[in-house]
Structure 1
């Protein structure tokens, strides 16, 4: 999974994923979520936009880079 996605600033919740492995990331994300149908990058991109609308993540001004909402990070670290 490291070749697909990595932390840019772990303390701030900033992560980035590789354009080279974006289909692999999408497939693994779909498996993790328990989706019956195969997840594609287009579906993953839509999910990221939806997460941004709900405020769970925000787009960072770098290619394929996002940041988790700071309020969500402590709960994620406990899980």
Structure 2
């Protein structure tokens, strides 16, 4: 994957998480939009980074099984 492809996926993962957590924090927790946006920015960052890191680790494991060195 190219560097821009990785950046695009990272931004997309963060954006989806942000929107999801924004809705959850506003409607379920009853927070005003400004506070919900601040919370969502933090809460979306953690699963986005974790998901991308686990995907990268999974792909590295596939390459090792196939006999590739990198």
TM exceeds 0.5? no
More helix by share: 2
Normalising by structure 2, report the TM-score: 0.30
Normalising by structure 1, report the TM-score: 0.28
More strand by share: 1
